[in-house]
Amino acid sequence: MSDTAFTPRVFSGIQPSGGLTLGNYLGAIKRFVDWQEAGTHETIYCMVDLHAITAKFIDPATLRRNTRELCAGFIASGIDPEKSVLFNQSQVPEHTQLAWIFNCVARMGWMNRMTQWKDKSGKNAEAASLGLLAYPALMAADILIYHATHVPVGEDQKQHIELTRDIATKFNHDYGREFFPIAEPVIEGAATRVMNLQDGTKKMSKSDPSEKTRINMTDDADAIAKKIRKAKTDPDPLPETIEGLEGRPEARNLVNIWSGLTDQTPAQVVEANAGKLFGYFKQDLADIAVDKLGPIASEMARLMEDQSEIDRILGRGAERAREIAAPILDETYDIVGMVRS
């Protein structure tokens, strides 16, 4: 395997820790589809089920359902399992095998500095799982087991990609080989950080206890419209220019969502709606959201009726993933000095 020339390859994953949100769709899946359609890179997308059990206990039936529903969400949004490799992480054991090597490369100080670890372990880090602390090393393995060169993610994952780069750099340096690529995070567009509908300073999250804070990709038209109508805003109308949204996080968030759904820039959205009261803006935004998301939700429901077909797609995806991952793991073991007979 060449030490310097890496196949242009995109990898990204989503946790089946709950139902897909509009944040996951705009910040991740919609952009995964763009990479797939651009055809410039091989595209590999994963349901990271091993990550999903790091933060809190998930009932096994729920985890299985979430994983299949996430797969349906990928496909309904435009990921074609023939064009992209689509699979769940636990069916490709090379991820955890490489993660062990990376656990021995990463330093405790690096892991302790991760903001997601600090946020999710909260005030009682002693009670958090070891898996939650090690999460970014597994994520580095998810990416590097495919020698991925580009990783499209939302803003919140930037620090983990930086850690992936640090792990690759240290491995390459320690073993004196340019074996792992230094993967580039790709964080683009207006909707890389979709915020909570009730608090514009917090990220929209699938595990937030309140349903009102997020739009789920399985929500029906009524639920979408209601959540947008009830989204928190301030009393002022839309400003004349984008600068007028400064210090108005909830207003900015709705403009970003409009932008993400329509592919207009936030400045164009503001210009087209200047002076409009939020009551009307939210009504129009609800119509746009229902129009875009409704067909995805219906297709997800249709796909979920045939779970054996979803399992077949995941099984085939895992086989294709292993064809890439297994030789990279073998060579890693060889570089590290594990006897292979």
The two three-digit tokens of residue 294, written as one number: 């409704």
Query: What phi and psi, each to the nearest 5 degrees, are found at residue 45?
Result: -130, 140
Q: Which of 14, 106, 224, 290 binds ligand AQP (CB under 6 A)?
A: 14
Q: Which is nearer to ligand AQP, 3 or 59 (CB)?
A: 59
CB–CB of 151/165 below 8 Å? Answer: no
Q: Considering the rule CB under 6 A, would residue 207 count as an interface residue with ligand AQP?
A: yes
Write out the H or E segment, with its range, that includes residue 64: helix 60-77
| Between 115 and 298, CB nearer to ligand AQP | 115
Binding map of ligand AQP across residues 134-153, x = CB under 6 A, - = no contact: -------------------x
* Residue 27 contacts residue 191 (beta carbons within 8 Å): yes
Is 314 one of the binding residues for ligand AQP (CB under 6 A)?
Answer: no
- Taking alpha carbons only, the member of 49, 20, 14 closest to residue 214 is 20
Q: Does 317 bind ligand AQP (CB under 6 A)?
A: no
87 in Cβ contact with 320 (< 8 Å): yes
Phi, psi of 337 (to 5 degrees): 105, 20
**Nearest distance from residue 26's CB to ligand AQP, in Å?**
6
With binding defined as CB under 6 A, does residue 9 bind ligand AQP?
A: no
Give the CA angle between residues 106, 108, 112 to the nearest 5°. Answer: 115
- Binding status of residue 293 toward ligand AQP by CB under 6 A: no
CB atoms within 10 A of CB 100: 12
Q: Which residues contact 341 (CB under 8 A, 6 or more apart)?
A: none
Contact with ligand AQP (CB under 6 A) among 41, 64, 193, 316: 193
Interface pick for ligand AQP out of 10, 11, 19, 21 (rule CB under 6 A):
21
Residue 205 makes contact with ligand AQP by CB under 6 A: yes
Residue appearing with tokens 């064009």? 83
User: Which residue is closest to ligand AQP by CB?
Assistant: 27
In the complex, least distance from residue 15 CB atom to ligand AQP, rounded to whole angstroms? 4
Per-residue burial over 129-168, b if 16 or more Cβ lie within 10 Å, else e, is eeebbbbbbbbbbbbbbbbbbbbbbbebbebbbebbbbbb
Q: Least Å distance between CB 143 and ligand AQP?
A: 12
Q: Does 27 bind ligand AQP (CB under 6 A)?
A: yes
Cβ proximity to ligand AQP: between 210 and 241 the closer is 210
Stretch that binds ligand AQP, among 58-66, 93-101, 102-110, 202-210 (CB under 6 A): 202-210
- Asked whether the beta carbons of 304 and 217 are under 8 A apart, the reply is no
Tell me how far, at minimum, the Cβ of 261 lies from ligand AQP, in Å: 13
Cα dihedral 51, 303, 216, 14 in deg (nearest 10): 20
Q: Which is nearer to ligand AQP, 73 or 181 (CB)?
A: 73
Pick one of 9, 10, 19, 28: the residue that binds ligand AQP (CB under 6 A): 28
Q: What number of residues does the chain have?
A: 341
Query: What amino acid positions are annotated as catalytic residues?
Result: 120, 203, 206
Contacts with ligand AQP by CB under 6 A: the residue count is 21
Question: Per CB under 6 A, which region of 16-24, 103-111, 273-281, 300-308 contacts ligand AQP?
Answer: 16-24
Q: Is 299 exposed, middle or buried (0-12, 13-18, 19+ CB in 10 A)?
A: middle
Q: Is 17 in the site for ligand AQP (CB under 6 A)?
A: yes
Residue 204 touches ligand AQP, criterion: CB under 6 A: yes
Cβ proximity to ligand AQP: between 15 and 67 the closer is 15
Q: What is the contact surface with ligand AQP in residues (CB under 6 A)? A: 14-15, 17-18, 21, 23-24, 27-28, 153-154, 156-157, 192-194, 203-207
